[in-house]
Amino acid sequence: MTESLLLKPDRKFVESIVTSGGGDLKKCFQCATCSVVCELSTSRTPFPRKEMAWAQWGLKDKLFADPDIWRCYQCNDCSTKCPRGARPGDVLAAVREQAVKHYAVPHFLGVWVNQIKRLPLLILIPVILLAVALVARPTLEQAFAFGPPHGFYAEMVPHWLLIGLFTFFTGLAFLGAVVGVMRFWRAMAKADLLADQSDNMVGFVPSVMRTVQSIFSHAKFGKCGTEAPRRWAHILAFYGFLALFATTVWAVIDMYINPRFFGIDSMYPFGMMHPIKILANVGAVLLIVGCYRAIRDRIRRQAEDGGSTSFDWIFVWLLLAVGVTGAVTEILRLIAEPTGAAVPLYTAYSVYFVHLVLVFGLLVYLPYSKFAHIVYRTTALVYAERSGRTREVRLLEAGAATSMRVAESGGQTVNSD
Amino acid sequence: MDKKVAVYICQGCDIGSSLDVEALSTVATDECDAALCRDHECLCGEAGRELITQDIEGGANAVVVAGCSPRFMPDAFAFEGCQVERVNLREHVVWSHEPNDEDTQMLAADYLRMGIVRAQKAELPEPFEEEIDKTILVVGGGVTGMEAAVNAAGAGYDVVLVEKEAELGGWSAKFAKTFPHRSPYRDPQPIPVADRITEVEGHDRITVHTGTTIEGISGQPGQFDVSLRSNGTTTACRAGAIVQATGWKPYDASRLDHLGYGRCPNVITNVQMEELIALGEIKRPSDGKAARRIAFVQCAGSRDQEHLPYCSGVCCRVSIKQALLAREFDAESEAYVLYKDIRSPGQYEDFYRRAQEDTGIFFTKANVVGVEESGDHNLLVEAEDTLLGGKIQVEADLVVLATGMVPVAADGEGLRRYADAKAVVEKGEAGGQLDAAKQTVEDLAHLEGTAILNLDYRQGPDLPGFKYDFPDSHFICFPYETRRTGIYAAGCVRAPNDSQASREDGAGAALKAIQSVDLLSRGAAVHPRWGDTSYPEFFLQRCTQCKRCTEECPFGTLNEDVKGTPQPNPTRCRRCGICMGACPERIISFKDYSVEIVSSMIKSVEIPDEFEEKPRLLGLLCENDAYPALDTAGLKRIQHSAYIRFIPVRCLGSVNIVWVADALSRGFDGILLIGCKSGDDYQCHFIRGSELMGTRSDNIREKLKQLALEEERVRLEQLPITDWDKLPQIINEFAEEIEEIGMNPFKGF
């Protein structure tokens, strides 16, 4: 018998869910239609009914320690089937936003990053940092021998300066994310321990493998009924971002690791037909198309049910802006570099500067924005695999497949138990 | 009066083509001594009716119409001042049996014989006519009573309204607001009770007696002599019918110790919460501090076998209203509603939605198992079976128990048992009876002084309680009816209601009361034998004071004198004939329904001798459910055994055992008795007919033993009308069983 749970009804939290996209939360009367349609619901976890009940009472500790809120891809089957219009899918999105804020280190960034009114300040920070870096550049160049700049834009901001600056701040953000993830993991483990559900553990490595496989295949997205088109937007943006991230990493290796440690000459800047360049350009196109589709779908949905919040909008617009400014930067280089004229040059530099500011925002604010789903969702998926949560669903699917085969062969379905 | 019986056989509806009508005519005239017998291709038509009218003018005073079921064409075959018997040749003969068959013909002939005998024996009822007072006495001046009074008065009837409190209005006058009764069903609304009080008090036809109780009511419907007691003085009045609208009281919360009531000062009932709301702020009883965290425990003692097994239907909406009002008084306060199920029927769902919109009102399904104090008289509510996962605890400053409604009704039958037992104890006769009586007095002592109507009825001074002590007759066909003719229960004393439904009840019961006095003034019975002018007559010279009739009458019709001789009160009677079935001396009869009439019908059936191998079965069918069920089976052309002869009875309770004895000694091989469903969810139109038949069948078994006959020859069945399709099967199975047992050895004696 488990201990009684002392409820601490939290109106403030309920109101925060209501104002951040879960406005219909209170309409829920706990009929469990959502749990019937949701494939994440198992016999031991009626998802998302229990989350709706917790959210109605403002039991945030329960919600923040719940991996299931991150296993939801907001297919919104529950929202469309809900007989009372409580839109559990949207409520869960709002809960995830609150979870990101809750685990944010430092906490204030979690709050600031998603407030429209803080946007100027948030932009100002990288602008100032870059400006300071440019001012400090001559001094640093004298102190360290970094070698000649690699190409057109490096004349403005050399890569070593960018790498130093971005690595440092991204590293700080990364540390914050690591702390958040660890707290999240501990909270989930503690909740399971209290609920007496910490048996059934699966190995860590297989859990990670399954998670990675699931992320790369976007298989879960494929099961989203109501919002199936989102799968393609996400696939495009995901692989686009991945390609750009990989080519950026490769460029750093090419410029500073290969010549120094392996004696291979830097090939930077890559020609247009270089495989890395092709990959980068393809990545950029995928990212832009993916973001465009995501925004278009969101606007369409907005007209129907108004489900998107600034948390959603800031992130997706930022990602699109990074993609677009990156592409424009490249095009302007192709125009400006041969002429050497001043106007194209400074236009190109300006756009590049904007691009850098946006990239800074994307990477450094990652753990505090919607982008944080990369870390929290992945953590939750690994935890879900590890704690055996996915087992019942897998067994059910296998069972369904078996019984279907049995039915097709004309035999009787036999309960494997 | 000399009977001149005219018989008419209709040839329509397959009758002419399935039977030898000429042979039937011979049976009527030659064998049964009918004055004349005619046939016609469509008796219910203009020409057919004309035929009958001419004969009546020519002196026929009893008409036997052999054609369709008496349930059809009642108006076509109603002839002023002339007795009419219907013989059901259509549904019960030609539509349910092989046409032009020997057995079918014999069946038709027997039905005709029985019909003619009945026409010869029965008489046209003469209505019981006495001076009837049409004043309506309304007991209880809450919303229901006031509505009944206003409606009855508005329809032109004088009303006497009695209220024991000093003011009219009941609970509604004490509550600040109620839940909304009209669109958009969102916010609590004031109760318009003050206007109603003014209207009642100012009405010409309504006499209001507040601060008044009923000292006694004697007599019978149409002639109730009421004595009212107020401030030590007694006034008398006369009334024709009574509407009891005595309302409800909250369930005794002191029995809910586990929920902290009585133990913790800050645990209150929803009625106490209304008092706080009326003051305009929610203060804790323990220290007068503002209650900011208010937990509502729904179904406190309701839907609980240990307490009230039923749902009072209003507590959910009351708690929602109270939560909204508490939040309105103090925006910082929070309300936690812990429910088994939220029951907000119909449009009230919008009221529930309204409360859900409020982020300060929290709902969860829960089974509250306990309330404990946790220092400073704060409370800890513990609940299980929640959807929040496992057991939960909620801290609260104030706990409101949503207790249910208990009818303000007295247990009439219990009071009678109590009075009887007290009489035995006072007499002090020795023996085991005395001990039992002492025990009864002890067990029922809590009933002392609870009487409300103080009826001078042998069966007790108040309405008999029924399921969960509500005095409703508990049968869906008869709203507001009770087990006392002319007395109608309305509002929360009938069933838990909200004020809106109570008002509807008040209006409905007023109409029932009006209908009752109007029928009485014509000497006619109320539902279910609506308009029946026959009534039981007692040949008291032969009465043995066995008291069976006074005990068994479901409607308390009969009082007793000191010796135990029944004293009839015809207007209390519903003409079921249960007294007639009960009487071992057979001294009770109706003009058109008696032991003698039915016995003669039984004896008129021709019993083929043993060697013809044609068994004869007698079926006594309750005319309320079983008879129409057999009609329906006939309409659907479902066949049944041609060996059985049915006689409709007013109620299975009116079956006198002597009929069974007569039938068996006459040579019938088996007897099938079919009545309505008995038990908790009975469907008997006269409450206990088939139940009584069940007990009487013990005597029947005794009789069979005396005659050295098999017990299986008599079978008792209960049949809801909806099971009409099963009836032919029941008949056929019984016929087969009797064939297996073999012929009655008394044939031919």
| Residue B191: predicted pLDDT | 87
Neighbours of B225 (CB within 10 A): 15
Single-letter code of the amino acid located at A43: S
Share of chain A above pLDDT 70, in %: 90
| Residue B667: predicted pLDDT | 92
Instruction: Enumerate the H helices of B536-688 as residue ranges.
Output: 548-552, 578-582, 595-604, 626-635, 657-666
Residue of B342, B359, B392, B393 to mutate for A, most A C-beta atoms under 10 A: B359
Q: List chain A residues with CB under 8 Å of B392.
A: 4-7
Mean pLDDT on B510-524? 96
Share of chain B above pLDDT 90, in %: 86
Indicate yes or no: CB of B358 within 8 angstroms of CB of A53: no
Please state whether beta strands B177-178 and B189-190 pair in parallel, antiparallel, or not at all (unpaired).
antiparallel
Backbone angles phi, psi at A146, to 5 degrees: -95, -5
Instruction: Write out residues 72-101 of A within 8 Å (CB-CB) of B.
Output: 84
Neighbours of B26 (CB within 10 A): 14
Q: Provide the shortest C-alpha distance from residue B384 to chain A (in Å).
A: 9
Q: Provide the shortest C-alpha distance from residue B341 to chain A (in Å).
A: 10
Q: Provide the shortest C-alpha distance from residue A81 to chain B (in Å).
A: 18
Mean pLDDT on A303-330? 86
- The partner residues of B455 in beta bridges, in order of sequence, read B217
Range name among A3-7, B659-663, B688-692, B730-734 with the lowest pLDDT average:
A3-7
Indicate yes or no: CB of B342 within 8 angstroms of CB of A53: no
pLDDT over 60 at B596, yes or no: yes
Indicate yes or no: CB of B362 within 8 angstroms of CB of A49: no
Q: How far apart are CA B692 and CA B440, in angstroms?
A: 24
Residues B207 and B161: beta-carbon distance below 8 Å: yes
pLDDT over 70 at A226, yes or no: no
Range name among A195-204, A260-269, B101-110, B473-482 with the lowest pLDDT average:
A195-204
**pLDDT tens readout for residues B383-401:** 997 887 778 999 999 999 9
Instruction: Enumerate the H helices of B591-726 as residue ranges.
Output: 595-604, 626-635, 657-666, 689-706
Confidence of residue A400 (pLDDT cuts 50, 70, 90): low
| Residue A308: predicted pLDDT | 73
Q: How far apart are CA B444 and CA B460, in angstroms?
A: 14
Confidence of residue B708 (pLDDT cuts 50, 70, 90): confident
Q: How far apart are CA B121 and CA B81, in angstroms?
A: 16
Single-letter code of the amino acid located at B324: L
- pTM recorded for the entire structure: 0.87
Q: Is A18 on the interface with B (CB under 8 A)?
A: yes
Which helix H or strand E contains A276, and what residues bound it?
A: helix A275-305
- The partner residues of B550 in beta bridges, in order of sequence, read none
Please state whether beta strands B62-67 and B83-88 pair in parallel, antiparallel, or not at all (unpaired).
parallel
pLDDT over 80 at B130, yes or no: yes
Range name among A134-143, B202-211, B262-271, B516-525 with the lowest pLDDT average:
A134-143
Please state whether beta strands B241-244 and B136-139 pair in parallel, antiparallel, or not at all (unpaired).
parallel
CB-nearest to A56 from B362, B390, B395 is B362
How far does Cα B198 stand from its chain's mean position?
A: 35
Q: How far apart are CA B724 and CA B633, in angstroms?
A: 6
Mean pLDDT on A59-69? 93
Q: How far apart are CA B409 and CA B244, in angstroms?
A: 9
Farthest-apart Cα atoms in chain B, separation: 98
Average pLDDT, whole number, for chain A? Answer: 86
| Residue A307: predicted pLDDT | 64
Indicate yes or no: CB of B388 within 8 angstroms of CB of A6: no
Please name which of A159, A127, A166, A151 lies closest in space to residue A330, comparing C-alpha atoms: A151
pLDDT over 60 at A2, yes or no: no
Indicate yes or no: CB of B362 within 8 angstroms of CB of A57: yes
Q: How far apart are CA B244 and CA B412, in angstroms?
A: 14
Residues B56 and B38: beta-carbon distance below 8 Å: no
Half-sphere exposure of A66 (CA within 13 A, CB side): 27
User: Which residue of chain B has the CA closest to A1?
Assistant: B390
Indicate yes or no: CB of B388 within 8 angstroms of CB of A59: yes
Indicate yes or no: CB of A53 within 8 angstroms of CB of B364: yes
Confidence of residue A408 (pLDDT cuts 50, 70, 90): very low
Q: Which residue has the higher pLDDT, B69 or A38?
A: B69
With a CB cutoff of 8 Å and minimum separation 6, the contacts of A298 are: A308, A312, A313, A316
| Residue B680: predicted pLDDT | 79
Size of interface A-B (CB pairs under 8 A): 70
Residue position matching structure tokens 């919303």: B143
Residues in chain A: 417
Q: How far apart are CA A335 and CA B293, in angstroms?
A: 69
Q: How far apart are CA A205 and CA B251, in angstroms?
A: 62
- CA distance to A99, A147, A161, A252, B39, per residue, from A143 (Å): 44, 12, 13, 21, 133
- Residues of B at the A interface, defined by Cβ within 8 angstroms: 334, 336, 342, 352-353, 356-360, 362-365, 382, 386-395
Mean pLDDT on B588-605? 96
Residues B317 and B181: beta-carbon distance below 8 Å: no
pLDDT over 50 at A1, yes or no: no
**pLDDT tens readout for residues A187-219:** 999 988 887 666 667 888 989 999 999 899 888
Indicate yes or no: CB of A6 within 8 angstroms of CB of B392: yes
pLDDT over 80 at A149, yes or no: no
Indicate yes or no: CB of A56 within 8 angstroms of CB of B364: yes
Q: Provide the shortest C-alpha distance from residue B335 to chain A (in Å).
A: 10
| B744, two tokens | 């009655």
With a CB cutoff of 8 Å and minimum separation 6, the contacts of A95 are: A17, A22, A51, A55, A63, A69
Mean pLDDT on A43-53? 86
Q: How far apart are CA B701 and CA B697, in angstroms?
A: 6
**pLDDT tens readout for residues B159-181:** 999 999 999 999 999 999 999 98
Omega before residue B570 within 30° of 0, cis: no
Strands in B410-568 per DSSP E: 487-489, 537-538, 559-560, 566-567
Instruction: Write out residues 176-195 of A within 8 Å (CB-CB) of B.
Output: 195
Long-range CB contacts (within 8 A, 24+) of B633-636: B633/B91, B633/B96, B633/B724, B633/B725, B633/B727, B633/B728, B634/B69, B634/B90, B634/B91, B634/B92, B634/B95, B634/B96, B635/B91, B635/B95, B636/B725
Q: How far apart are CA A251 and CA A266, in angstroms?
A: 9
Q: How far apart are CA B644 and CA B671, in angstroms?
A: 9
Neighbours of A104 (CB within 10 A): 23
Average pLDDT, whole number, for chain B? Answer: 94
Per-state percent for chain B, helix, strand, coil, to nearest 5: 35, 20, 40
**DSSP-derived secondary structure letter, B455:** B
Which helix H or strand E contains B276, and what residues bound it?
A: helix B270-279
Indicate yes or no: CB of A9 within 8 angstroms of CB of B362: yes
**pLDDT tens readout for residues B334-363:** 999 999 999 999 999 999 999 999 999 999
Share of chain B above pLDDT 70, in %: 99
pLDDT over 50 at B564, yes or no: yes
| Residue A406: predicted pLDDT | 44
Mean pLDDT on A73-101? 91
User: What is the complex's ipTM, to 2 decimals?
Assistant: 0.84
Indicate yes or no: CB of B334 within 8 angstroms of CB of A4: no
Residue position matching structure tokens 């009002």: B325
**pLDDT tens readout for residues B440-449:** 999 999 999 9
Q: How far apart are CA B358 and CA B323, in angstroms?
A: 10
Q: List chain A residues with CB under 8 Å of B336.
A: 7, 9
pLDDT over 50 at A305, yes or no: yes
Confidence of residue B220 (pLDDT cuts 50, 70, 90): very high
Mean pLDDT on A356-378? 92
Indicate yes or no: CB of A4 within 8 angstroms of CB of B336: no
Indicate yes or no: CB of B358 within 8 angstroms of CB of A26: yes
